[in-house]
Structure 1
Amino acid sequence: MIVSSLLLLLVLGVPIAAAFALVIIANADAWNIDPFSLAAMPFDTVSNFSLLAIPLFLLVGELMNRGGLVRQLTSVCDLFMSRIRAPMGHIMVLASGLMGAITGSSVATVAAIGGTVGVEMRQRGYSKGYTAALNAASGLLGVLIPPSIPLILYGAIVGVSITNLFIASIVPGILTIIVFMLIHSVLSKRVLPGGQEVMAESAPSPKSAGPVRKLPVLMRALPALMLPVLVLGGIYSGVFTATEAAAIAGIYALAVTILSRQASTGDLKKILEHAALASAAILAIIAFTSIFNRAMILEQVPQSITEIATSFTGSPILFLLAVNVALLLVGMFMETNAATLLMGPLLAPAAINYGIDPVHFGVMLVTNIEIGLLTPPLAANLYVAQRTNEARLTEMFGYVMWFLGGSLIVLGLITFVPALTTWYQLL
């Protein structure tokens, strides 16, 4: 009843944060939630330091888009990928993997890439619905590509090496990139007029872009190309955290935009306004879904699902099947980090008793829960991509199902081919 009411409000077009708030207020007594805490709980959630990366990377996205940096990057990508059909979709997937390596957050990845590459995709002839669907699905790479916040949480609470978890997630992340790019290659024939992108007037012809033509494009794009080098180099060298990297990226993008005179004072004001409004909308969603997560825990929904999944079999294969089903359901109703913190310590001991490597199980668990970001009602990636790309959920669902199917295929391979995650133990 609660879920159906929430879905009805969303279908009727009620703003996402408002829909969750209405459901929470209507059921506060049934869930034994103190009405006076309804103001404090959302504030405590969005006061988390790690969430500061979201508005900062949204600002980076606005600066890169309106400051011309995205155009420079896509021009470089056109030079090397223009012989591939429908290149912007492939760039969306690869850029999401790169942004995932910067943020460790799926939602932040969707927000940043949707505000940059998503704009370029729509200009190339892609519909808003398809662009948003690819943006939402590619955001899963924000968790699969290390560093990954949910994997850090799992390793800390279960007592598994976080370094091993990061290494183990590399192959699944690359596999997901390949699957999404293959799906895009198929779908692009349907969503693009004539199956071809509308090329930007400034894009050089791939046939005439020899070394002499490539050098000026590369030089113009050098400041933009240095941004991921700066951020990734700082994170992996241990100089700063992902959130600090977001702040540094924002300062760098702002400095490049001002020094290159790509934006006027009026443009900078609009950039800040757009980033602030988008950040407020996304953080409001996260704030109110946190109360919904708390209600699910109070109702012991995850614990009930876990008991059903682990009580009827002695077979590791059947156990993994049951756990996958349980985690898919949990991912539909709980935020990724909260679900990881709750389900990890509940299921990992049972997995170890079945002889399943805890690192393999951790990657499987996080991948599974992460798929919930594409499945309502708590499909955060869908909602953020919808907002960022100005699309409607009904325009997205038909395309999202393709990428959801690809994600489930990858999940099946991760689950039943342990070597994809434990390969590093053979070195």
Structure 2
Amino acid sequence: MIAYLLIFLILGVPVGVAFSLVILMDAEAWSIDLEFIGQTTLDALLNYPLLAIPLFILGGELMSHGGLTRQLVKFSRRLLHRTNGSMGHVMIVASALMGSITGSSVATVAAIGRAIGPEMLGRGYRPGYVGALNASSGLLGVLLPPSIPLILYGAAVGVSITSLFLATLLPGLIFVGMFMLLHRARVKHVLPGGRESDMVSEGGERHEKDFGLPLAAALFMPVLVLGGIYSGLFTATEAAAVAVIYALVYALLTRSTSLSQLGEGFTRAAASGAAVMFVIGFTTIFNRALILEQIPQAVGTMAIGLTDNVWLFLLVVNLVLLLVGMFMETSAATLLMGPLLAPAAERYGVDPVHFGILLVVNIEIGLLTPPLAANLYVAALVNKIPLVPLMRQLPWFVVACLACLMLITYVPEVSLWYHYLPR
């Protein structure tokens, strides 16, 4: 069953279609009729926490069209303009701020690449490095809360989404710090003379005097969304709805976009959200089939039979998930591997929240590793950069990601830090 699925995905069959084909091929063996498939898919989508996914996607689109993204970039420029290699640091910080609202890695790459990529190229950065930094920083769109893959994992495995959002905050900040250290070390190699030129592209620092109320309103949005979640004022789904309303009101009050452009944002968000929900619906049936076949239990038993060492188990899990991330779309990989491996991890005493962070970090690194590597392709497209020079600069960032992954894997306190807060 899993072999058929991997073959379909390697052949380029759309993810949702691939899952549905595998289900239909084995429907008779599982005694599943078409009515059950339709009803089970609908029941899976009528899950309140999943409503956060299309809402966060819509919030990201409205941010991009309504000018919030430009304000976050402006803030990052002002904050970091005196540092050497400032525009690279701006790209990292702006990606983190964007990710703290949208929950999407690819959306972060696209929005920040459009806003900052031309500025970096104008200041003398090598094109391949701009693309690699843009693609890698885009991971912060998922590694900082809110995170769409963590919503999927929480819904599939039955883990508190608020706990997952708390758990990923420190790992996300560690990634921010690692990327900034790496950029600082690489500046002298990717800039002529090791310093940025004074060339400023249109929309750059010459317009930064406009730094008042619109920027304050933009910076308040992540505070509102994340503060509402962590304080218990909002659920993740309610926070997503608040983000949409806030971004829409901001766009209308500042008149930073036209109604037709807002309409395009709604259309694109609907298409993206429908694609994700289609995958969720059919992977739910697929995961139920795995449970009926007792495959997760078999995986757990096999793992314990191979080793009783939790460190070795986690190493094997990392290798498997890194491989899966290279070939499977993020949502599909999360929905497949979460229910499959979480029970085995629990038998080793691994906290399900810690395991969720570990799983998502692994799969997200797959966005940088071909053949799937969605972040690479989007970064190359947005920055109009050939893929080959981008790939030459990428190994530095992959190594940095793997170093952070090892820390998250073998120091559970990095993810479970909130357990040590005074109550």
Q: Same fold (TM over 0.5)?
A: yes
Alignment of 1:182-261 (within 5 A): 182=181, 199-204=200-205, 216-261=210-255
Long gaps (5+) in structure 2: 122-126
Partner deviation per Cα, 1:31-75 (whole Å, 9 max, x = no partner): 654344343344333332223223222322222222222222212
Deviates more, 1:261-270 or 1:319-328: 319-328
Long gaps (5+) in structure 1: 206-212, 352-357
RMSD over equivalenced CA pairs, Å: 4.7
Q: In structure 2, how many angstroms separate the alpha carbons of the residues matched to 1:19 and 1:70? A: 35
Q: In structure 2, how many angstroms separate the alpha carbons of the residues matched to 1:288 and 1:384? A: 25
Pairing partner for 1:348 from 342, 346, 349: 346
Match of 2:108 in 1: 113
Q: In structure 2, how many angstroms separate the alpha carbons of the residues matched to 1:43 and 1:190? A: 53
Change (3 A) 1:307 1:258: same
**Matched-pair contact (CA < 8 Å) for 1:235–1:241:** yes
Partner deviation per Cα, 1:184-210 (whole Å, 9 max, x = no partner): 6678889999996985313226xxxxx
Q: What is the CA distance between 1:97 and its match in structure 2?
A: 4.3
Pairing partner for 2:11 from 9, 12, 16: 9
Partner deviation per Cα, 1:229-266 (whole Å, 9 max, x = no partner): 22233223322222212222222221221122222333
Change (3 A) 1:249 1:27: same
Q: Supply the AA of the counterpart residue of 1:347.
A: A
Deviates more, 1:243-252 or 1:191-200: 191-200
Alignment of 1:2-401 (within 5 A): 2-10=4-12, 14-29=13-28, 33-84=32-83, 90-91=89-90, 93-95=92-94, 97-98=96-97, 108-110=103-105, 112-114=107-109, 116-124=111-119, 125=121, 130=132, 133-134=135-136, 137-142=139-144, 149=151, 169-182=168-181, 199-204=200-205, 216-322=210-316, 324-325=318-319, 335-336=333-334, 339-341=337-339, 343-351=341-349, 359=351, 362-364=353-355, 366-375=357-366, 398=391
Q: In structure 2, how many angstroms separate the alpha carbons of the residues matched to 1:240 and 1:69? A: 22
**Matched-pair contact (CA < 8 Å) for 1:414–1:421:** yes
Q: In structure 1, how many angstroms separate the alpha carbons of the residues matched to 2:381 and 2:45? A: 23
**Matched-pair contact (CA < 8 Å) for 1:305–1:326:** no
**Matched-pair contact (CA < 8 Å) for 1:150–1:340:** no
Deviates more, 1:70-79 or 1:24-33: 24-33
TM-score by structure 2 length? Answer: 0.72
**Matched-pair contact (CA < 8 Å) for 1:110–1:385:** no
Q: What is the CA distance between 1:141 and its match in structure 2?
A: 0.6
In the comparison of the two structures, how many residue pairs are matched?
Answer: 400
SS at the partner of 2:54? helix
Change (3 A) 1:31 1:277: same
Partner deviation per Cα, 1:276-323 (whole Å, 9 max, x = no partner): 223223333333444444444444443333222212444454454455
Change (3 A) 1:131 1:57: farther
SS at the partner of 1:217? coil
Q: Supply the AA of the counterpart residue of 1:272.
A: F
Change (3 A) 1:323 1:272: closer
Q: Supply the AA of the counterpart residue of 2:52.
A: A
Q: What is the CA distance between 1:19 and its match in structure 2?
A: 4.2
Q: Supply the AA of the counterpart residue of 1:372.
A: I
User: Aligned residues: percent identity?
Assistant: 36
**Matched-pair contact (CA < 8 Å) for 1:24–1:292:** yes
SS at the partner of 1:116? helix
Q: Supply the AA of the counterpart residue of 1:109.
A: S
Match of 1:415 in 2: 409
Q: What is the CA distance between 1:29 and its match in structure 2?
A: 4.2
